[in-house]
Amino acid sequence: MEETSFGMGNKRMTGPKLIDPYGTPPGADPRGSLQSITLDMDRTEGATVNRMKSTHLEPFPDPVLDVPDELSRSVIVSSVDYLLNWARKSSVFPLQSGLACCSFEMISAAMARFDLARFGMEALRASPRQADLLIVAGTLTWKMAVPLRRLYDQMAEPRWVISMGVCATSGGPYYQSYSVVPGVNHIMPVDVYVPGCPPRPDALLYGIMQLHDKIRLYSLTGQAAGQE
């Protein structure tokens, strides 16, 4: 029987070549079953996920800001800060991303009844390069943590993160499960946590207002939000 190697990470074993149990239908890809075509890609992906699991054991510290002492800064810097922060908090662009059930509450928040447009946030962006807010809405699995971190890295600074729901915040009902991240703060710094399972859309709106208060405290002379 033809042999092939398989395994996760550095552990490689040999075994029988993967056979499509349903046979190759007429017109199918001559390279074989989808499973055998993507085997290398699956191995690489598995190794990447395992690497992330083994290196993200500790949470990032929460970016807590001190209330700036207005008198210690020049009038010009304070005024520019005020103007920039007002513009930023009035036009936060959220990234279009939803992970699980919580995302439906996030979508409701953008609909007519709750109306994210009141904050200038109705344009959910399809590209991380045009977004400065990542709302992690729902259960974050280790497999999804890799692309989510990549999206976060592609967002320009200053950038903010809201953890929506108990799953995103601590794993929730899947706490200590092998496949669920025990809190999105293991993957990226989180600015605001919205509790609930799921949080109602108005709870998300309250979380966004908390974020607005936080954005007001940033200063040109300090560290940009999301900078590590």
201 binds ligand SF4 (CB under 6 A): no
Give me the least distance between CB of 73 and ligand SF4, in Å please: 40
198 makes contact with ligand SF4 (CB under 6 A): yes
Candidates 18, 47, 77, 101: give the one binding ligand SF4 (CB under 6 A): 101
* Contact present, 187 and 144 (Cβ < 8 Å): no
Instruction: Verify binding: residue 171, ligand SF4, rule CB under 6 A.
Output: no
Does residue number 97 form part of the binding site for ligand SF4 (CB under 6 A)? no
Nearer to ligand SF4, 197 or 220 (CB): 197
* 102 scored as a contact of ligand SF4 (CB under 6 A): yes
Q: How far is the CB of 104 from ligand SF4 (least distance, A)?
A: 8
Q: With the C-alpha atoms ordered 133, 165, 126, 227, is the resulting torsion angle positive or negative?
A: positive
Q: Binding of ligand SF4 at residue 166 (CB under 6 A)? A: yes
Q: Does 138 bind ligand SF4 (CB under 6 A)?
A: yes
Please identify, among the stretches 60-68, 128-136, 163-171, 214-222, the one whose residues bind ligand SF4 according to the rule CB under 6 A. 163-171
- 136 vs 215, beta carbon nearer ligand SF4: 136
Q: Does 183 bind ligand SF4 (CB under 6 A)?
A: no
Binds ligand SF4 (CB under 6 A): choice among 94, 172, 183, 226: 172
- Binding residues vs ligand SF4 (CB under 6 A): 100-102, 138-139, 165-167, 172-173, 197-198
